Amino acid sequence: MSTLIIVGTQWGDEGKGKVVDLLTSRADVVVRFQGGNNAGHTLRVAGEQVIVHLIPSGILYPDTLNVIGNGVVIDPSVLMEEKIGLRSRGYFLNDEQLLISDRAHVIMPYHKLIDVGREELLGSAKIGTTGRGIGPAYEDKAARIGIRMGDLLRPEVLRNRIAVALEEKNFLLEHRFKKRPLDADTIFNEYAAFGEKLGPHICDVTHVLQGKIAEGRRVLFEGAQGTLLDIDHGTYPFVTSSNVVAGNVCAGTGISPRKLEQIWGVVKAYSTRVGSGGFPSELKNDLGERIRERGAEYGATTGRPRRCGWLDMVVVNHSVQLNGLTGIVLTKMDVLTGISPIKFAVAYELDGKVIDRVPADINDLERAVPVYRELPGWTEPIGECRSFDELPRNARHYVETIENLTGVPATIVSVGPGREQSIVRKPPF
């Protein structure tokens, strides 16, 4: 097997970064296919913490090729900052470690202003976006007025496209969001300079990837966000602006579905979400607080406290089906140590009916009352366990219950933040 997709099965922050980082040691290529620097992957290596937002997690390995696909939206200033930061810590010493699609869209200064301005106007109805300009950049892509990474290398094209975009954006900024209009020359100078600096990375990555897969190289596709934040299948409108599901690997990189093999979903042993929107199994009490503190549940991108709750198997099974999962990576099991009983939702009650699907309407989701089952917890610390049999009996039972409820094997169980704190039951490559 040579291709593996890793996706989040909840609302993001399931620990994908650590999992991808762990599996990267066996991969030749790591690819981002959607989202942007709204994502934040916390990687821990030799006791040190590294957070990446845009550059694929494989960057910590000198021999791994990292690819940003056409489906990603890129803020070049963030990319530059990340590159400089990694380099100062001894990573990413070779430019050839990163390829960026010439078809990926660029997040421009007006996208960030519009993202923030729109949230301000929405007031209490806000989405709770990361404010990074992600949504407005995808809007421009669909409206066919976007600027692509390849345009940064063609000054005349870039100048013209900025002028066209600003005609509309400055009207919006001034009259709708009451902000100052932006100057075309200033943006052009800044972005043309980004083009010069990032030029060595920008190319037709689809062609490169197709070649790597044809050669039988091990390619890992790294999802960002989580399935419940998918623009079509998530808790709309409280979602991100891209398709997060595994199927978007094809459109977001240009690889045929016929080439894709394993699809693993990362399931956190409990649930969290940042931003607004329905979350039936949320714990708005001391236990929720305790999980937040023990699990360090604060946004890697925005630092916001994450809302915490019990595991929701309705959500997980929604993701199992949408992504066609062949494996589950269960993370943060150690955070549940000492909590007993451990509850998990298996259905919702809505208007007197029991349902086991995520309702399309956000108001229905907000009214849905979880139907819980529970299992006894465990008290033994599990951070040192390196095989499934070393886990306490009740912890094993929790894992097996999730496997039974999903019909998908738990291929990795993560018992702590360190790369080595992982029980790998089935290596992917």
Query: 């550059």: which residue's tokens?
Result: 55
Long-range pairs, 346-351, Cβ under 8 A, ≥24? 346/313, 346/314, 346/371, 346/372, 346/373, 346/405, 347/314, 347/371, 348/280, 348/314
Given the rule CB under 6 A, which residues bind ligand IMP?
Answer: 11-13, 38-40, 127-130, 132, 134-135, 224-225, 229, 238, 240-241, 274-275
- Min CB(322)–ligand IMP separation in Å: 17
Query: 């949230």: which residue's tokens?
Result: 119
Q: Which of 19, 32, 14, 3 is CA-nearest to residue 316?
A: 14
Give the nearest residue (CB) to ligand IMP: 275
241 or 317: CB nearest ligand IMP: 241
| Catalytic-residue membership of 13 | yes
- Min CB(276)–ligand IMP separation in Å: 6
33 or 378: CB nearest ligand IMP: 33
229 or 267: CB nearest ligand IMP: 229
Cα separation, 52 vs 82, in Å, equals 7
- Min CB(126)–ligand IMP separation in Å: 9
Q: Which of 28, 41, 53, 75 is catalytic?
A: 41
15 or 150: CB nearest ligand IMP: 15
Q: Residue 318: count other Cβ atoms within 10 Å of its Cβ.
A: 21
Exposure string over 257-279, b if 16+ CB within 10 A, otherwise e: eeebebbbbbbbbbbbbbbbbbb
- Min CB(353)–ligand IMP separation in Å: 28
Q: Where are the beta strands (DSSP E) in 39-137?
A: 41-45, 48-52, 65-68, 73-74, 98-101, 105-106
Rg (CA), the chain: 21
| Catalytic-residue membership of 334 | no
DSSP annotation of 35 reads B
Q: Which of 13, 140, 312, 334 is catalytic?
A: 13
Q: Where are the alpha helices (DSSP H) in 236-367?
A: 248-253, 286-294, 313-323, 362-367
237 or 376: CB nearest ligand IMP: 237
Written as six digits, the tokens of 340 are 């007993």
- Min CB(147)–ligand IMP separation in Å: 19
Give the catalytic positions in this structure. 13, 41
